Structure 1
């Protein structure tokens, strides 16, 4: 099998970095990308500015690959998704050349002649990656190893509080009333004079709230309702000035400012059960019967989840809560803590019972939030070393991650009297008083 390539699924930041590390180690990468070009998922949020600075968005092996071309790494600043693609991802993909194939969707990963039930000789046969093209063509590619860097962007979490779409949510989405992507500047401007509901508590939701709050400032007839499933705590708006990524901390500060200034109405303890379409508008209804005023649009930014369907014949070992590798899950579970950053990790923590199969990047976090590109770059560096037989390098830590400035758990589920969700750093956080509606 040493003559076979290492198949990398996805030509995003992590997939391209994995290929660069593999190539540097003398292995042959084959990157399979479903989209038409590099960073296809990043293209969908090209208007959003990253909270990581340029030096943390460039993989060292990819930079070394680009050196002979005369490429110069941007030294400072916070690029938009568009800039990340144009100024870094596209050049890396071009340098990898024939190692990257576009328009190729992976439908399944198997072992040659063996389903997941067959154990004898399993590790001695190659992987078979089943793909399909735009014209319906099928291809089977044999591989010595598989690195799944497909991400989670195509699998957004629904507005429904129970983890499945709320009643009527799919129909509302089909009608164009519900979307799952941060609004572009054009779409945000089009919200002037209308009512927009934002569902979610993460950085994408904060970005949307800040953006829409500026629309309200320009046109006070605009109404923005920000829906949170839980109560407001010290950690709701991130680490602020304590965050070692200042732009990440600033998102929380600015979204909180929008609430305090009355530009955005914050509704807490609201767990969505239904989305009714009434006279061409969306009415969001909570499990307790509360209904929001009809909205012209609902922006659902509740995170993402991994697509595990094409790995159904693989023996993967995932945490039952997060759907992340079991050795990694304890340090990223938001139910337990968010104390600073996750420990650097690599091949050992990301290994599965299926030898030489690795899930990396955002997908390796399962449903846990707040993944950093530099975390993924360390993952693929370690995995490339492991596949090349350099086990010492695979286990060496070559990364220090920035602290989030947040030291508590996921927040209180129902209110301050429920202290079961206290974080790893002590007792449950105090409840803050803000310009909120509901409770």
Structure 2
């Protein structure tokens, strides 16, 4: 019997639906299988390590780069950490010796090499070791401009000599570190000139470790001998004016300070160039040459004799390298230095001002015991009251060491604005 039209249509629709459902089921199974295979074969993704961020640690380095010696003191987190003293001598070498104090490599400019800009690398040794390198060395006392010309080298040599330099640095790589430095200097030179020169130094290498250098923009430059004024203020000196008498290697500087306020402020100064210890060494050499001994003493040896000389029982005692006592020659040299050099101008100036106001005696000249005694004796003969002569316990270091009062935690808080005004 023939089928009806409606039945045929119904069966066709049912077949189509079953076919579609079957296709969907197969397709779903394939998707599930593919998904399972993918999950089994796919490698787990690597977990990225979090990037370590090391906070910067600012080091305050107070530095006095003189003609004779470089003195530096580091202050970290409000605590005076270390201090060093180096001779003001530099020597450029082909490669820096490892493990030698004051030796480092550095770069302060780029040069074109094979069409590419590369760092120009310099190698230097600063301090007494500079004389041992078998190359020409330069002393800051050789020329009046050397102290400013070689300031970046002197500064980096002092930084390289700090015993705990690595601990001051930051970074995750043991061979690649960073130093953030707030440099405080004592100098008569233009502070902008010094700041620009040191800012050109981008990195240095000390004993195989590279330190990236970042110098703070708020670096300060205090007058030479400023620490002595702080010492006088710390001794509760009440007069509105105090003086400092700083005999260094090249100068016999007299400075007047206002003693009103938290910090002393310099009002005037007289450098008296040529009145320093270098002139005393010349006078000493002449005096020794006028003796009947045929043995020659080098200027460097005379300096060591000066530093170890004594004044005992009213007599000057100075022992030469061969064991002779040349105290009489030293006494004659000091007296000639006092009456016939620019030191004379400084003493004449203080002859009137120090009668009214106290004066702090500082500098390497007063660290020489016979010189200290004979200069004080001369000042007393000029009518200066004994109580107006303020002696620091360590006259050679007081100008630098007393600056820590401005930065250590134990002291009364002093604002940055007050520091800038004092500088």
TM range (shorter): under 0.3
Structure with bigger helix share is 2
* TM-score when normalising by structure 2: 0.26
Kindly name which structure, 1 or 2, has the bigger radius of gyration based on alpha carbons: 2
Higher relative contact order (CA 8 A, sep 6+): 1
* TM-score when normalising by structure 1: 0.26
